């Protein structure tokens, strides 16, 4: 696995971990909040060994070279975040080819959008801990627990959210990682990216640009694997299991008993096996 800096046509420069032959089918892996590209440290070598070209970027705001002013929330609009992902595919040399997409948390939100609006670009979709927006909206309205699980979304909109998250050597993040099963060594890697004020301000700009509104998207017509741990502190069972109602393609839902929000860090071998099986069933 190598790490480099990859410029895109917008003039942004992303930190990207890559593994495998650049001519092989691409697997793009997008991380979510409170982690980084290191979420996929165990997946990239496994994908490369299986004959894929795997790439995991630090996304907009997480990469210092791709960090517009977080105070300008328009620079973190979801349309720009989606375009970043597609521009990275082009910069990796796969602009004219179908690719496999993996998304976790906020990266999952982008992946759902790409699958919904550019299904012809994808060979497969793998989702980690992020329900389809339709299932999530339904759970927010009908599951009394889901608004409580999602209350951090509103907290991140507060002006003092960044100092609170960074206080006491990032105690909030460390405690959450520990409770959700992230090994300490991985937490240190994630905090090497996120554990400073400029990066944290930019990461929260994703939430602040969106607010509390989750826009609807069409049903998904891409073969989809959804992995959900039943100890996930942010996604309840109704939202997770309800995702199947919004997939109009081959679909597999796998519940991971005792696993939290960050399955690639917590049970990397299990995630690798399921991911490789899914990709092999839907070649690019």
User: For the domain that residue 87 is a member of, what is the CATH number?
Assistant: 3.40.50.1820
Using pLDDT thresholds of 50, 70 and 90, give the confidence band for residue 43: very high
Structurally, how many domains does the chain consist of?
1
For residue 254, pLDDT over 90 is answered with yes
SS3 state at 65: helix
For residue 215, pLDDT over 90 is answered with no
**In the chain, what percentage of residues exceed pLDDT 70?**
99
Using pLDDT thresholds of 50, 70 and 90, give the confidence band for residue 212: low
Using pLDDT thresholds of 50, 70 and 90, give the confidence band for residue 235: very high
SS3 state at 193: helix
Q: By C-alpha distance, which of 114, 199, 109 is closest to 153?
A: 109
> Would you say 18 and 4 are in contact if contact means Cβ atoms under 8 Å apart?
yes
**pLDDT (mean) for 196-211:** 94
User: Tens digits of per-residue pLDDT, 62-75?
Assistant: 999 999 999 999 99
Range of the domain at 166: 2-281
For residue 150, pLDDT over 80 is answered with no
Tokens 């602009």 appear where?
95
Q: By C-alpha distance, which of 109, 99, 84 is closest to 217?
A: 109
Report pLDDT for 148. 85
Question: Rounded distance, CA 5 to CA 13, Å?
Answer: 6
Treating both helix axes as pointing N-terminal to C-terminal, what angle do 197-210 and 161-179 enclose, rounded to 10 degrees? 90
Report pLDDT for 156. 87
Inter-CA distances, 83 with 8, 80, 89, 90, 179, Å: 10, 5, 10, 10, 33
**pLDDT (mean) for 163-178:** 96
Task: Please provide residue 166's backbone torsions phi and psi, each rounded to the nearest 5 degrees.
Answer: -90, -10
CB contact set of 234 (below 8 Å; sequence gap of 6+): 105, 129, 149, 150, 152, 261
CB contact set of 163 (below 8 Å; sequence gap of 6+): 197
Report pLDDT for 154. 81
Question: Rounded distance, CA 268 to CA 42, Å?
Answer: 6
> Would you say 26 and 250 are in contact if contact means Cβ atoms under 8 Å apart?
no
- Mean pLDDT is lowest, of 30-34, 79-83, 147-151, for 147-151
Report pLDDT for 166. 97
Report pLDDT for 213. 63
Using pLDDT thresholds of 50, 70 and 90, give the confidence band for residue 86: very high
Provide the whole-model pTM. 0.96
User: Tens digits of per-residue pLDDT, 118-135?
Assistant: 999 999 999 999 999 999
- Give the DSSP H or E segment for 64: none
Inter-CA distances, 268 with 70, 103, 166, 264, Å: 32, 15, 27, 5
């Amino acid at each position: 696995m190598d790490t480099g800096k990859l410029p895109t046509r917008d003039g942004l420069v992303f930190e990207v971990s890559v593994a495998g032959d650049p001519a092989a089918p691409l697997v793009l892996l997008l991380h979510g909040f409170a982690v980084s590209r290191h979420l996929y440290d165990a997946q990239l070598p496994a994908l490369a060994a299986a004959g894929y070209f795997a790439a995991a970027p630090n996304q907009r705001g997480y990469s210092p070279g791709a960090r517009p002013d977080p105070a300008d929330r328009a620079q973190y609009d979801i349309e720009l975040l989606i375009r970043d992902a597609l521009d990275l595919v082009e910069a990796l040399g796969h602009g004219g080819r179908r690719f496999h997409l993996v998304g976790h948390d906020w990266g999952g939100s982008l992946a759902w959008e790409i699958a919904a609006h550019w299904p012809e670009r994808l060979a497969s979709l793998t989702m980690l801990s992020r329900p389809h927006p339709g299932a999530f909206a339904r759970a927010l309205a009908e599951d009394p627990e889901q608004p409580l699980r999602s209350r951090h979304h509103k907290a991140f909109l507060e002006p003092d959210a960044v100092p609170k998250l960074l206080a006491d050597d990032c105690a909030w993040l460390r405690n959450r990682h520990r409770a959700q099963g992230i090994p300490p060594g991985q937490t240190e890697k994630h905090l090497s990216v996120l554990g400073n004020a400029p990066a944290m301000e930019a990461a929260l700009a994703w939430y602040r640009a969106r607010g509390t509104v989750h826009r609807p998207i069409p049903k998904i017509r891409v073969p989809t694997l959804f992995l959900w741990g039943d100890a996930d502190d942010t996604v309840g069972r109704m939202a997770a299991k309800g995702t199947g109602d919004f997939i109009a393609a081959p679909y597999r839902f796998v519940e991971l008993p005792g696993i939290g929000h960050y399955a690639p860090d917590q049970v990397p071998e299990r995630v690798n096996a399921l991911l490789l099986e899914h990709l092999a069933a839907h070649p690019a």
